[in-house]
Amino acid sequence: MEQKVFQHSKGIKEVPNQHSKEVLSFKEALILLDISSSMLYKLTHQKLISYYKPNGKLIYFKREDLINWMLSNKQPSNEEVKLEVFNNLKMTKNASEYGK
């Protein structure tokens, strides 16, 4: 499995593979989400993303929560929209025929 490299002010350091960790630090969450630290601070401040603060200072994230956040607000493809419209029309037609 590939390991990510995190650029740190004191040099470069390897970060353990996030696939093996359930709980991630702030820096590990940045790598997983591929966003800036200011963006992650903004998301936590506005409570748009779940986080944990066990000692009142450092924050941690559940990997599953971060992935669910990344996959939220799905935008359906044109094919998915067509299929949904077709199914709705089919159900409407069946309901109107049943009511006769």
Per-residue pLDDT tens digits for 18-27: 567 999 999 9
According to the model, what pLDDT value does residue 66 have? 96
Query: What dotted CATH number matches 4-74?
Result: 1.10.1660
Give the other-Cβ count within 10 Å of 32's Cβ. Answer: 19
Is residue 49 within 8 A of residue 62, CB to CB? The reply is: no
Euclidean distance between CA atoms 31 and 20, whole angstroms: 14
Confidence of residue 17 (pLDDT cuts 50, 70, 90): low
| In the predicted structure, residue 35 carries a pLDDT above the cut 90 | yes
Q: What is the percent of the chain with per-residue pLDDT over 70, rounded to a whole number?
A: 75
DSSP H or E run through 8: strand 4-8
Confidence of residue 72 (pLDDT cuts 50, 70, 90): very high
Is residue 52 within 8 A of residue 60, CB to CB? The reply is: yes
Euclidean distance between CA atoms 18 and 23, whole angstroms: 9
